[in-house]
Amino acid sequence: MTDPEQPAAWAPIRAELRRAVPDSVWHHWLEPLRALRADPGRLDLEAPDAIRPWVGDRFGGLLQDCAEAVLGPGVTVALAAPDAPTEPARPAVADSLDVHPRHSFGQFVIGDSNRLAHAGALAVAELPGLAYNPLFICGPPGLGKTHLLHSIAGYLAEYAPATTVRYTTAEGFTNHFLAALHGDGIEAFKLAYRGVDVLLVDDVQFLQAKVKTEEEFFHTFNALHEAGAQIVLTSDRLPRDLDAMEARLRERFEAGLVCDVQAPDPATRRTILAKRVAQDAVADVDPAALDLIAAQVTANVRALEGALVRIVAYGSLTGRDVTPQLAEEVLAGLYPELSRRRRAPTVEEVQVATAEAFGVTVDALVSSSRAGAVAWPRQVAMYLARELTGQTLPAIGRAFGGRNHTTVMHACGRTAERMAGDPGVSVVVVRLRESLRGG
């Protein structure tokens, strides 16, 4: 009979051990073990001095397997002497992958495309369960959603080590749930996910159309939320666009803070590249090469960093410095469509193309006139210059008759609003943008 003061998860682990060994082995070596702590990240066992070394050497693998069968992958098993102090609890931060050391808040490059998501993630890391609950981060692949999840886990591991954190993917949650069903370990599964302070779930869209798993996740979500635990989810789309997911789950996802991440603007892409060069201590990189990469690789951060890695590797293997010429050669092989546009357009080229498209002169664009026939083309030109050239807001303002950066910001915001509200306007601006890009 087990000690009622021992952790609840120890009973099913003991049962797994009991089934795995003969009676004589059980009674002599394993039955004397007592659990000091059993949570999703760690199992601490007390073993008498006489048997502790042998149990560790002979049954360490079995203890690990049985603990993982109940508590999930990544559990640390430790044996201690009676009355010995145990190591403080550390967060369980992973199922199948470790928290990436580069995926921290300090290494996350903030731009207009991800500012809200970053602020939300930092807020829940500093005040889990109190800031935004749940936090739902959505956006296409490769834009930093997983980076933010790892940043939260790493922040808590450093500044709140007593907080239990579980990171998983939707696929990992599903696989663990199915294994628990088939192995009669559903109560232990519930403890593993509902007994934490922070639950981080990546790619939650993959729970769609899995009826039993969705139901279990629904109850897990409710149990955590009612207990005041923090929940952070990522997805490739907004909750309302998860058409195959139960409405009750979508409603809960939307009950907290929903924020999206988008493709980074040229200035943010340039900063990401510069930070990666500094991290990797790459020498002999021409800043103009980074400008070219940032201007041409626009899909996502993963593609951007991948292009940089390939260019640096090619330069190292061929004994060449990373110059714009080298970057252009490698990018032409990676992205054949880029061969039609060797460089980013200048502000002047944007002005000429916009003036031609709207039937005005460049002199009018840079003049002080506020007439509607000139003001709107000027706003479009500023918007495209901001998006395509990589120039700073003050530099763009100077090119438009000495205007200040707030005027450029207003022009960009106004253009984006009109594009969102008027499909006709959007078509005109997109065609002009693709023309400038060489598409």
- Homologous superfamily of 347-437: DnaA protein, C-terminal DNA-binding domain (1.10.1750.10)
Phi, psi of 105 (to 5 degrees): -65, -35
Who has greater pLDDT, 53 or 405?
Answer: 405
Mean pLDDT, rounded, of the chain: 84
Separation between Cα atoms, residue 119 and residue 136, nearest integer Å: 12
Where in the chain do CATH 1.10.1750.10 domains reside?
A: 347-437
Strand-pair partners of 44: 37, 78
Q: Are 127 and 178 in contact (CB under 8 A)?
A: no
Where in the chain do CATH 1.10.8.60 domains reside?
A: 266-340
Q: Which residues contact 70 (CB under 8 A, 6 or more apart)?
A: 9, 12, 13, 16, 185, 188, 192
Q: Residue 287 has what pLDDT?
A: 86
Q: How confident is the model at residue 124 (pLDDT cuts 50, 70, 90)?
A: very high
Q: Are 117 and 274 in contact (CB under 8 A)?
A: no
Neighbours of 146 (CB within 10 A): 21
Q: Are 70 and 9 in contact (CB under 8 A)?
A: yes
Is the pLDDT confidence value at 98 over 60? no
Separation between Cα atoms, residue 189 and residue 8, nearest integer Å: 12
Tokens 């609003």 label which residue? 417
Select 10-80's CATH number: 3.10.20.30, 3.30.70.20, 3.90.700.10, 3.30.300.180. Answer: 3.30.300.180
Residues 360-395 pLDDT 10s: 999 999 998 888 889 999 999 999 998 888 788 889
Separation between Cα atoms, residue 31 and residue 53, nearest integer Å: 15
Where in the chain do CATH 3.30.300.180 domains reside?
A: 10-80
Q: Does domain 266-340 have CATH number 1.10.8.60?
A: yes
String of b and e for 359-369 (b: at least 16 CB within 10 Å)? ebeeebbbeee
Long-range contacts of 370-379 (CB under 8 A, 24+ apart): 378/411, 379/411, 379/412, 379/414, 379/415
Strand-pair partners of 136: 233, 258
Is the pLDDT confidence value at 95 over 50? no
Select 105-260's CATH number: 3.30.1330.10, 3.40.50.300, 3.40.50.1370, 3.40.50.10380. Answer: 3.40.50.300
Q: Residue 343 has what pLDDT?
A: 61
Q: Residue 200 has what pLDDT?
A: 94
Where in the chain do CATH 3.40.50.300 domains reside?
A: 105-260
Neighbours of 52 (CB within 10 A): 18
Provide the whole-model pTM: 0.57
Q: How confident is the model at residue 89 (pLDDT cuts 50, 70, 90)?
A: very low
pLDDT above 90: percentage of residues in the chain = 28
Opening angle at CA 333, ends 328 and 336, nearest 5: 90
Who has greater pLDDT, 104 or 184?
Answer: 104
Picking from 102, 112, 100, 52, the residue whose alpha carbon sits closest to that of residue 79 is 52
Q: How many residues does the chain have?
A: 439
Is the pLDDT confidence value at 77 over 80? yes
Q: How confident is the model at residue 94 (pLDDT cuts 50, 70, 90)?
A: very low
Mean pLDDT (whole number) for 239-257:
91
Phi, psi of 361 (to 5 degrees): -100, 160
Is the pLDDT confidence value at 195 over 50? yes
Mean pLDDT (whole number) for 304-314:
87
Residues 147-161 pLDDT 10s: 999 999 999 988 888
Neighbours of 88 (CB within 10 A): 9
Q: Residue 92 has what pLDDT?
A: 46
Is the pLDDT confidence value at 84 over 60? no
